[in-house]
């Protein structure tokens, strides 16, 4: 009690009442945090009880949540024509994790990436996410950036990548996020990206190999390889090899390879059980889009397993992750048949924040 009295925390009668100089606020996704105006700092835990909370339920009728130019969340009451920085739902908060359940109990298929990373501080960590201008990649990059990491969006289309950076900065203007050009369908572009990244002289703590293509008609890259195989697997394989020394110097570090459960429905061996290289980059006559995708995902898993075996003794771990079924993304954009199927299934699919939770979870587990 003497320590509490010295800190000024025994001045109030109620356990949940805040001490002088403290203010209760909420983040955009509903987590409650506490601002100490005297010391100019914030924290997730209540200064007296040590509990973490989040608001429960939707905003009352007529209310809308906005973000000001400084990234601070405020609330607009359209009925009474007023604005406030006080979340009207703060009277209905619930304790976060009061009984400290296990990870298996706490997270499920409805968990988002922001919930997985909630309370974690990635300040000083450098994260690279390929294909981060949309979908799972964008949600993963955003989640890391909003938790303090320096995030690099490695994308082929710089216009879309720059737009994605702006969207993240709209949520938090202090986010450290940037875009760099990476075209996995061109090995020279992979090499240029690695050289440009190394020139920054920064560490690399998390590399998320997320970019992928799906249901493409048969085509060859400028390197003479089938496009699905090169974009989904070989480009990432080459990228990791080029950045391997940086990863090892940054240990503990982690590589996350986004694969798919569809890897089960193919093989890359011939009838004698030996590796058949012609199946990896097939000719036009032997090409089937879905089979090419499945094989590339099988290569992802084999690569991730071997990478972990070789680099884990040096502090670099690798995980292959299946982001989950029944999710809607724009990966189907290359063929109208799949676009139609995905559109019909849209009402039953997950948002991108939920499969992104898997990437965020594996990326944030202590090495």
Nearest to 127 by CA among 138, 116, 135, 115: 138
CATH topology of domain 22-95: Ubiquitin Ligase Nedd4; Chain: W; (2.20.70)
Query: How would residue 5 be classed by pLDDT, with cut points 50, 70 and 90?
Result: very low
Which has the higher per-residue pLDDT, 96 or 47? 47
Inform me whether the pLDDT recorded for 8 exceeds 50: no
Nearest to 8 by CA among 38, 51, 35, 44: 38
Catalytic, 293? Answer yes
Query: What pTM, to 2 d.p., does this model score?
Result: 0.66
- Give the CA distances from residue 39 to residues 21, 22, 226, in Å, rounded to whole numbers and listed in that order: 9, 10, 58
Q: How many helices (H) and strands (E) does the chain have?
A: 12, 14
Query: What pLDDT score was predicted for residue 197?
Result: 98
| Residue limits of CATH 3.40.50.720 in the chain | 113-266+281-348
Residues of the chain with CATH 2.20.70.10: 22-95
Q: Which of 34, 85, 287, 293 is catalytic?
A: 293
Inform me whether the pLDDT recorded for 111 exceeds 50: yes
The SS3 of residue 152 is: strand
Q: Both tokens of residue 274?
A: 């030996």
Is the domain covering 113-266+281-348 a CATH 3.40.50.720 domain?
yes
What pLDDT is stored for residue 264 in this prediction? 76
């Amino acid at each position: 009690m003497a320590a509490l009295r010295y800190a000024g925390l025994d001045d109030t009668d109620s356990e949940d009442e805040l001490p002088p100089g403290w203010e209760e606020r909420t983040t955009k996704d509903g987590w409650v945090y506490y601002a100490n105006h005297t010391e100019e700092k914030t924290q997730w835990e209540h200064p007296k009880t040590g509990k973490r909370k989040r608001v429960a339920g939707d905003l009352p009728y007529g209310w809308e949540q906005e973000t000001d130019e400084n990234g601070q969340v405020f609330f607009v009451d359209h009925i009474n024509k007023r604005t406030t920085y006080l979340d009207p739902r703060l009277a209905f908060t619930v304790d976060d994790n009061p009984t400290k359940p296990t990870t298996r109990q706490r997270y499920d298929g409805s968990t988002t990436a922001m919930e997985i990373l909630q309370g974690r501080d990635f300040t000083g960590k450098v994260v690279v996410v390929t294909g981060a201008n949309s979908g799972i990649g964008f949600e993963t990059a955003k989640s890391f950036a909003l938790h303090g990491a320096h995030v690099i969006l490695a994308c082929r289309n710089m216009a879309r990548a720059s737009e994605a950076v702006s969207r993240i900065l709209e949520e938090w203007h202090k986010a450290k996020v940037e875009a760099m050009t990476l075209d996995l369908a061109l090995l020279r572009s992979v090499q240029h990206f690695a050289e440009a990244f190394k020139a920054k002289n920064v560490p690399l703590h998390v590399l998320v190999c997320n970019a992928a293509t799906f249901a493409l008609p048969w085509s060859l890259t400028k390197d003479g390889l089938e496009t699905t195989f090169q974009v989904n697997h070989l480009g990432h394989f080459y990228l990791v090899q080029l950045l391997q020394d940086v990863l090892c110097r940054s240990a503990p570090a982690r590589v996350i390879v986004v694969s798919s459960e569809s890897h089960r429905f193919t093989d890359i061996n011939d009838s004698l059980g030996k590796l058949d290289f012609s199946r990896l980059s097939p000719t036009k006559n032997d090409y089937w889009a879905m089979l090419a995708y499945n094989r590339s995902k099988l290569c992802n898993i084999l690569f991730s397993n071997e990478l972990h075996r070789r680099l884990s003794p040096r502090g670099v771990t690798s995980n292959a992750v299946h982001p989950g079924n029944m999710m809607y993304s724009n990966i189907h954009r290359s063929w109208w048949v799949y676009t139609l199927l995905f559109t019909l299934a849209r009402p039953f699919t997950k948002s991108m924040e939920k499969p992104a939770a898997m990437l965020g979870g594996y990326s944030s587990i202590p090495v």
